[in-house]
A = this chain, B = another copy of it.
Amino acid sequence: MAQISEFLFQNDGNIVHADNHIDAETGLFLMRVEWELDGFQIPRAEIAARFAPLAERLKMQWRVHFSDAVQRIAIFASKYSHCLYDLLLRNVSGELPGSISLVISNHPDLQTVPERFGIPFHVFPIRSENKQEQEQKELELLAANQTDLIVLARYMQVLGPEFASRYPNRIINIHHSFLPAFVGSRPYHQAYDRGVKLIGATSHYVTEQLDDGPIIEQDIVRISHRDSVDDLIRKGRDLERVVLARAVHLHLGFRVLPYGRKTAIFD
């Protein structure tokens, strides 16, 4: 912390946000520092090169991001439109620090949704026998679009392992339960059957193991015995929208630092 702060101080960097975390268990030190380029002595293009020797000496893993760079987002959806719509609206109203460049689906159902906002929609129907081949095409399309972030907005397919390895900590999924409760399919039905008094939603990075990646954000809403499964689904939709949007917003602001199975959220 001393030396990073000193590096910025020496170069007239005006810090606007700094946060850190010391993980007592692993001894890991995490730091996020955000400063203004106005008045900073090092030209934008040279910052990384000038910082590298210090980082090497301290054996840091590090990245420099520029908050004015527009990150390109690809959304995967299937048949439910609520999360997709929600993200498209935040996109059109400038709420997201990024830009949705395309929508991919395994079904044609939501065709009109992104098109209403002038966003390209691509259908890749997936069956067990063509899954690998279709996913390959999706990966090519994502690469051609210089995709920075993939958001699974209630995408009803499990992605093949190549996705997680190509986009580590850059695929965000929304699961409609407070994980680790109700892993897998039909969590609202599971919740109804168990008679819980609150339902949740969880946004997390996608890893090779289903519903097991680092959690970014969770929230819950109270329910009662009066709520049918349909009520849970309806109440859950609002939760899913908000929990997914918060995660996407945090990620795009470089406020999520994943480490091991966890995340530090520097908000």
Contacts from A to B (Cβ < 8 Å)? 1-3, 5-6, 8-9, 15-24, 81-82, 85-86, 89, 93, 95, 116-117, 178-182, 193-198, 200, 214-220, 222, 224-226, 228, 234, 237-238, 242, 245-246, 260-265, 267
Contacts and interface: CB of A to CB of B under 8 A. Distances in A.
A224 B263 CA distance: 9
A16 B24 contact: yes
Nearest to A230: B24
A220 B198 contact: yes
A194 B209 CA distance: 13
A220 B220 contact: yes
The 3 closest A-B pairs by CB, nearest first: A195-B262, A2-B5, A181-B181
16 contacts: A1-B15, A2-B5, A5-B5, A5-B6, A16-B22, A19-B20, A24-B228, A179-B194, A180-B181, A181-B181, A194-B261, A195-B263, A197-B215, A197-B216, A197-B218, A225-B263
B93 A85 contact: yes
A193 B262 CA distance: 8
A196 B179 contact: yes
Q: Is the interface of A mostly helix, strand, loop or mixed?
A: mixed
Contacts of A193: 261
A216 B197 CA distance: 8
Contact of A82 (B1, B82, B93): B93
A237 B96 CA distance: 13
Contacts of A16: 22, 24
A22 B178 CA distance: 27
Contact of A267 (B20, B24, B226): B226
A118 B89 CA distance: 17
Contacts of A265: 197, 224-225
Contact of A245 (B3, B219, B238): B238
Nearest to A216: B197
A242 B201 CA distance: 15
A91 to B, nearest CB: 11
A81 B93 contact: yes
A19 to B, nearest CB: 7
Contact of A215 (B9, B196, B263): B196
Contacts of A81: 89, 93
Contacts of A262: 195, 225
A198 B180 contact: no
